[in-house]
């Protein structure tokens, strides 16, 4: 087992144990909001592994680690342990990171397709960078809709100050997305090489897609 796979394995189990403990504690004390968040976090953390096993897609371990850590920080630390109210910068930090991660995913996928012989359409460097930015911003907007839905249906307070919270979340999402889009653009121009390992790793794990 590679070191990164070992880290992913033990981190996933540690997260699950903490969440199971939180579920038991919330049931004992009748804290139903915490119970909901704990179950939701447990499901979302397990989702990448379930998708990987039931589909023909293999994700790089680094990607799975990022996703698990982000979900844990967002829901377990943010909602269950009140990091959003205890630390004013927590929400902005997570939205900036989410913009970075999602833009990187969008950028990598389009770049791989652009270099696949089976795909006849070739996209320009600027288009790939703009797509990555829009991809991340769209994901951020969908998350805000998700938060709004939970607030309206279950009476939660994920959007603390309403429209102000939503707009700042989208602004920091766009900052993270813009950073990755610009770096990715200059990478394609030959200035950076940080995406190359992601691309090669993804292709090696999914060789059946690129025959």
Residues 157, 207, single domain; the answer is: yes
Tally the C-alpha atoms within 13 A of residue 103's C-alpha that lie toward its C-beta.
27
Q: What is the pLDDT of residue 140?
A: 87
Q: What are 6-19's pLDDT values in tens digits?
A: 877 788 888 889 88
Q: What is the pLDDT of residue 64?
A: 78
First to last CA, the chain: 27
* Domain co-membership, 125 together with 69: no
Q: Among 34, 64, 87, which residue terminates a domain?
A: 87
Residue span of the structural domain in which 21 resides: 1-87
Rounded mean pLDDT of 146-168?
76
Residues 145, 183 within the same domain: yes
Lowest mean pLDDT: which of 28-37, 100-109, 122-131, 149-158? 149-158
CA 35, CA 40: separation in Å to the nearest integer?
9
Task: Name the domain count of the chain.
Answer: 2
Residues 64 and 152 in one domain: no
- Per the prediction, the chain carries an average pLDDT of 79
With a cut of 70, say whether residue 120 has pLDDT above it. no
Is residue 125 within 8 Å of 189, Cβ to Cβ? yes
Q: What is the pLDDT of residues 19-70, one digit of tens each?
A: 899 899 889 888 887 888 888 888 888 887 777 777 666 667 777 788 888 8
Does the pLDDT value for residue 192 go beyond 70?
A: no
Question: What pLDDT is recorded for position 159?
Answer: 66
pLDDT at 92: 86
pLDDT number for residue 56: 65
Q: Is the dihedral of CA 128, 49, 42, 80 positive or negative?
A: negative
Mean pLDDT of 124-131: 85
Looking at residue 207, what is its pLDDT?
62
Regarding whether 103 and 11 lie in a shared domain, the answer is no
pTM for this predicted structure: 0.70
Residue 37, pLDDT score: 81
| Total residue count of the chain as it appears in this document | 211
- Answer yes or no: do 22 and 49 share one domain: yes
Interhelix angle 125-154/90-114, rounded to 10 degrees, is: 140
Distances (CA, A) of 80 to 30, 37, 39, 84: 14, 7, 11, 10
């Amino acid at each position: 087992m590679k070191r990164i796979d070992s880290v992913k394995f033990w981190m996933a189990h540690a997260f699950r144990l903490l969440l199971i403990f939180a579920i038991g504690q919330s049931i004992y004390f009748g804290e139903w909001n915490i119970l909901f968040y704990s179950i939701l976090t447990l499901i979302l953390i397990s989702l990448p592994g379930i998708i990987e096993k039931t589909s023909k897609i293999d994700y790089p371990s680094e990607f799975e680690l990022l996703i698990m850590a982000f979900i844990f920080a967002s829901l377990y630390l943010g909602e269950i342990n009140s990091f959003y109210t205890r630390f004013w910068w927590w929400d902005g930090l997570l939205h900036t990171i989410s913009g970075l991660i999602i833009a990187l995913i969008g950028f990598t996928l389009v770049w791989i397709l652009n270099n696949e012989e089976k795909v006849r359409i070739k996209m320009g460097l600027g288009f790939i960078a703009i797509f990555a930015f829009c991809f991340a911003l769209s994901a951020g907007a969908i998350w805000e809709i998700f938060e709004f839905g939970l607030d309206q249906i279950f009476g939660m307070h994920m959007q603390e100050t309403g429209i102000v919270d939503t707009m700042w979340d989208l602004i920091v999402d766009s900052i993270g997305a813009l950073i990755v889009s610009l770096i990715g653009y200059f990478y394609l121009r030959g200035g950076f090489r940080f995406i190359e390992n992601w691309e090669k790793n993804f292709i090696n794990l999914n060789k059946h897609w690129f025959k």
